Structure 1
Amino acid sequence: MRKKLQAWLPDRQSIRGNRWLRPFAGSLLHPRLWHLNRHSAAGAVAVGLFCGLIPGPLQMLGAAIACTVLRVNLPLALLTTLYTNPFTIVPLYLLAYALGTFAVGGSVDAFTHPPEMAGLGLGAWIGALADWVVGLGRPLAVGLLLLAGGLSLGGYLAVKGLWRLWLIRAWRRRAQRR
């Protein structure tokens, strides 16, 4: 399992050769960021699931920063952030809003629909969308933190448990061969 995963993920040499990442090579080439074991994999999945809910294109940057601080597997964390995509982000944010509304004691019925944006220019469209998102405010922020924390904890425990089951199975197969 580990060898298959390592075959998909980029290696240290590809990072060293990338001209955009060369200024950060000192911190990005730390061996613990590239080593794959059950602890680094579980931490990387947790980081990726948490940072996957960061709005916009900052998900991978947030995951990379968290990986360098926590010293967990960087490629796996970056790969894990891809669970949010144009198809999943809206349901996840609606779930986060519902969780946040429940947590702060509000009503989900108070949800306001996005404003009509037909005929608006790009600048006005972005401004209207930003105003609508800011209007969602506290329930969305609290819900995103709760959902990200729950997904992160669940992913961490799932990877730890699955890796342990795989190890036990491998030990038993090895014992049967003897």
Structure 2
Amino acid sequence: MPKKFIRRYLPDHNKVKTNKSLKMFGSLLHDPNLWHLNRRSAKGAFAIGLFFAFWPVPFQMVFAAALAIPFRVNLPLSVAAVWITNPLTMPPIYYSAYLLGSTVLGTEMTDFKFQLSWTWLSESITTIGPAFVVGCAICSVVFAAIGYFGLDWVWKSSVARAWRKRAHAKRVNKD
């Protein structure tokens, strides 16, 4: 079940290989292990993608691909998992990370109004920046671990359910 579900939503590996931003990896993308979908490669790829999803930097997909290659996990899944943070989900996720970081650091939460300017960004790095970065780091590690072990559990449960279903079907057919 998870394999079929994941495969349905993964992009075609030829499209990923020809992606302009991934051209820098060259022939490394031709390793067949990067395209296999099994429990080990899926849980590792999902963890890598979730880890980089919480990094507030551009080109998260490139970072996910750069880590997926040496770990030899499913490249399309690691790149796709980064999109958990997208323009729609970024504001609540990053605000929650800021709140978490403020709580962990014990700093007072500052009211701020976002402005798309270098001045606002340079001032914010010193005021809300440390709490935001700590919150993002905690979220990266925690959600990567949850994704890794959660997908492993879902995969194992699905396989066990399929085996039970198959065994039941054999008993019914025997009778």
Q: TM-score, normalised by structure 1?
A: 0.83
Q: Find the aligned partners of 1:127 and 1:75 in 2 and give their Cα distance.
A: 34
Instruction: Give the RMSD, CA atoms, in angstroms.
Output: 2.1
Could you tell which deviates more after superposition, 54-63 or 160-169? 54-63
2:138 maps to which residue? Answer: 146
Q: Which residue of 1 aligns with 2:112?
A: 113
**Whole-Å separation in 2 of the counterparts to 1:98 and 1:15:** 35
* SS of alignment partner, residue 85 of structure 1: coil
Deviation at 1:104, TM superposition (A): 1.5
Q: 2:168 aligns with which of 168, 171, 176?
A: 176
1:44-97 Cα deviation digits (max 9, x unpaired): 111111111222431101111111122111101111111111221111111111
Aligned residues: 167
| In structure 1, distance between residues paired with 2:12 and 2:19 | 15
SS of alignment partner, residue 65 of structure 1:
helix
Does structure 1 retain, via aligned residues, the 8 Å contact 2:35–2:76? yes
Cα distance in 2, alignment partners of residues 105 and 92 from structure 1:
20
Q: TM-score, normalised by structure 2?
A: 0.84
Q: Which runs of 4+ in 1 moved over 3 A?
A: 10-16, 19-23
Distance 1:163 1:25 in 2: 32
SS in 1 for 2:88: coil
1:57 alignment partner, SS class: coil
Partner residue of 1:122? none
Q: Does 1:129 align with 2:129?
A: no
Q: Give structure 2 stretches of 5+ with no counterpart.
A: 171-175
Where does the alignment leave 5 or more consecutive residues of structure 1 unmatched?
A: 118-124
CA contact (8 A) 1:100 1:140 kept: yes
State the SS of the aligned residue for 1:72.
coil
Identical pairs, percent = 35
